[in-house]
Copies of this chain bind each other. A is one copy, B any other.
Amino acid sequence: MNPDLKAERAGASFDPKALTPHLYGGQARLERFNAVRRLIEEDPVFRVDDYYFASREERYTRAMEKTSRLVQLVKQHNLSEEESIVMRLCIREQLPLGLHWVMFIPAIKGQGTPEQQKKWLPLAQSLRIVGTYAQTEMGHGTFLRGLETTATYDPATKQFVLHMSDHGPHAFIVQIRDLDSHKPLPGVSVGDIGPKLGYDSMDNGFLKLDHVRIPRDQMLMKFAQDPKPSPVWIHVWSPERPDDFAQVSESGAYTRPPNTKLSYGTMIYVRSVMISDAARHLQAATTIAIRYGVVRRQSLLEETASKETQVLDYNSSQQQLFPLLGWAYACHFAGQHLIKMYQDLQASLNRADLSMLEYVHGTTTGLKALVTTIASEGLETCRKACGGHGYSRFSGLPDFYQDYVPACTYEGENNVMKLQCARYLVKCFRQAAKGRNLAPEMSYIGQATKPSHTSKPLNLDGPDAWLHWKIQSRVLEAKACLSLAAAVRELDRQLGSTSKGKAWNNAAEPLSAAALEHSQVVMLRLLEGGIATPSIADTARRALESLRSLLALKLIQAQAPALQLANLLSAMDVQHLSTAVTKLLAVVRRDAVALVDAFDLSDHFLNSALGRYDGQVYEALYAAAQKSTLNATPVTRAVQEHLQPLMKFSRAMLGMPKL
């Protein structure tokens, strides 16, 4: 064990091992998860020592091998659905069958009639068939209404010809490969789209259908049999929803679904998964950067010091890493909360109660954009905080970034998501202005409609007053209201002089800002809610509260001039704020290693020379480098073929002195 890391662990104010179970739903669940994790980590198929040296083809092939082994293990150990999901999460790789599990099967469950489910689900679940989810076209991703692939129903043959329709997007099950040879069927062109920034282990594909015919009952049309459909989980790549519940009769009559919003409920699940994914990535990256930050010593903070400074002691490292650590916890708790919210929503929708729908939909669009942005940018911040060694793939950080960052684009492109959230906020604002009641979570928006001259500064009596959640949440809300009021002002100004579409477009920037501000309020509430879990020991809670305070105060500090200008903070409040932040950095510094240790991510999962639990970073880096494929021979092929002839020619021509 590296002595610096050991000292950090000895000096922490709480025991991370006591916190871990509360992050994963209690001791019993944690133990079950750990047992599953061991199955993976002790199996040679899942070894990670070849991970950084594999070509794309090898990565893909190994990922397929892992997938196949995973399926065997699930069967062999009779694992539950939940355990098999945990198992997949232990494998730090996009699995080529991922879409089969998270999109194809759920789409059949969510949109198929009972007959369709009966036919297709057993085939898919037993892997007798393997499916994907092909919605985006080259020309259309965000704008689903613009999709150009069409399906024409031919009543004579009771078939769809995948070629032409104008009813908006629908979901079909289309066989594209031969069951025996696995070769594409006639009329189907299918292949890999080529290398990407990340996702090397995935063969994301293109698909072209040329008058491909499928039977009528391969259009998913749950609504035909089930007039009051319960909205269900289905993975959707876009803010615009396909008409999941439309139907086409045998004679070819088309029926629109009763309420397209019903399927909104299902997106919440996907978003909760995405937020948990952000959490996992941020946890990994902060674990690596913070452990390395106490092992790495560089430069002298005081000229007279006898030892170089641990880089985590530099204020710039702390300012960058500690808020990200706060976000890692916030995303963790938020992901868990959203699952509950999804279940509540399902229940209320099944009672035909749509009251929650708007809040949940309006808010999760903003959360998706905020969280994926913070996590992806945060991964690069953590990488850079490791200096030159962060650029090595052995640090683990490049791969985390490359595989995570597309989350900013899929499941609703972030610019589009922010604007959707803003639409909801503006609607709330207008309702509040008319004196209507808002969902309880949104009632704070009422402030935004009050005239600004009535505001009074906090006038706190010292830096410590800033440590109270009540104060923090009040200012965070005030800040979001300030931003929303400004956005509405700009929107109204634009509406006064141009068309509706242009006005919204011209006001996009303040509207997007308001969406992010609201999302911050929600995330910080969820963080606070998570910390308040009664079972968490007081020592750990205090450490988490300091982390939350730091994050909240940094967010407030970023808008301090605007808050002061709006007479919500006094100059003295801002001064106290700055003092409180400096104090909190030192408090969080003490527990930084314990706070990442509590995530309990394994060395196998991190696969990082810098983030190892034992802190033996230089040994690990050096050992890993020895395995580089370019070191297989003392002189590379490139040098032999191209450099040596050039040098030898030059020496022969010009002569060579003895060195």
Number of chain A interface residues as a range: 35 or more
A28 in the interface (beta carbon within 8 A): no
Q: Does A13 have its Cβ within 8 Å of any Cβ on chain B?
A: no
A64 to B643, CA, bound (A): 7
> Which residues 110-150 of A sit at the B interface, judged by CB distance below 8 A?
119, 122-123, 126-130, 136, 138-143, 146
Stretch with Cβ within 8 A of B (4 or more), from A270-278, A402-410, A434-442, A530-538: A402-410
1/0 per position for A4-19, CB-CB distance to B under 8 A? 0000000000000000
Which listed residue (B179, B181, B638) contacts A64, Cβ 8 A? B638
Within 376-423 of A, Cβ neighbours of B (below 8 Å) are at 380, 383-384, 387-394, 398, 401-402, 405-406, 408-410, 413-416, 418-419
| CB-CB under 8 A for A65 and B642, given A130-B647, A194-B627, A398-B197 | yes
Q: Which of B143, B184, B626 contacts A298 (CB 8 A)?
A: B143
- Asked if residues A392 and B196 are in contact (CB atoms below 8 Å), the reply is yes
Minimum distance in angstroms from A209 CB to a CB of chain B: 14
Which residues from chain B contact A308 at a C-beta distance below 8 Å?
143, 146
Copies in the complex: 2
Contact (Cβ within 8 A) B194 A398 = no
Residues of B within 8 A of A232 (CB): none
Q: Do B302 and A128 have beta carbons less than 8 Å apart?
A: no
Q: Is A230 an interface residue (CB 8 A)?
A: no
Interface residue? A352 (CB, 8 A): no
The yes or no answer to A506 lying at the interface (CB within 8 A) is: yes
- A251–B578 Cα distance when bound, in Å, is 58
Say yes or no: A501-B302 contact (C-beta < 8 A), given A68-B642, A636-B203, A642-B65: yes
Residues A624-650 near B (CB distance < 8 A): 624-631, 634-647, 650
Does the CB pair A302–B502 fall under 8 Å?
yes
Q: Is the pair A634, B184 in contact by a Cβ cutoff of 8 Å? A: yes
| Given the contacts A65-B642, A301-B502, A502-B301, A628 and B194 also touching, CB distance less than 8 Å | yes
Instruction: Determine if A61 and B143 form an interchain contact, defined as CB atoms under 8 angstroms apart.
Output: no
Judge whether A254 is part of the interface by a CB distance below 8 angstroms: no
Q: Does A21 contact B (CB under 8 A)?
A: no
Using known A-B contacts A192-B628, A194-B393, A641-B64, determine if residue A128 contacts B388 with beta carbons closer than 8 Å: no
Give the residue name and chain of the B residue nearest to A571 (CB).
B565
Tell me the complex Cα distance, A657–B121, Å. 13
Q: Are A512 and B316 in contact (CB under 8 A)?
A: yes
A179 close to B505 (CB less than 8 A):
no
Ordered by A's residue number, 25 sampled pairs between the chains whose C-beta atoms are within 8 Å are: A57-B638, A64-B641, A65-B641, A68-B646, A119-B657, A139-B618, A141-B387, A142-B299, A146-B298, A146-B299, A179-B651, A182-B634, A192-B625, A193-B625, A194-B392, A197-B391, A199-B391, A206-B622, A301-B505, A315-B508, A316-B415, A316-B509, A388-B406, A390-B409, A561-B565
- Which residues of A does B touch, CB under 8 Å? 52-53, 55-57, 60-61, 63-65, 67-68, 71, 96-97, 119, 122-123, 126-130, 136, 138-143, 146, 175, 179, 181-184, 191-199, 203, 206, 297-303, 305, 308, 313-317, 319, 380, 383-384, 387-394, 398, 401-402, 405-406, 408-410, 413-416, 418-419, 490, 499-502, 505-509, 512, 559, 561-562, 564-565, 578, 582, 618, 621-622, 624-631, 634-647, 650-651, 654, 656-657, 659
List the 10 closest pairs (A to B, CB-CB), nearest first: A302-B501, A197-B398, A315-B508, A192-B630, A64-B638, A561-B562, A561-B561, A61-B638, A316-B415, A194-B628
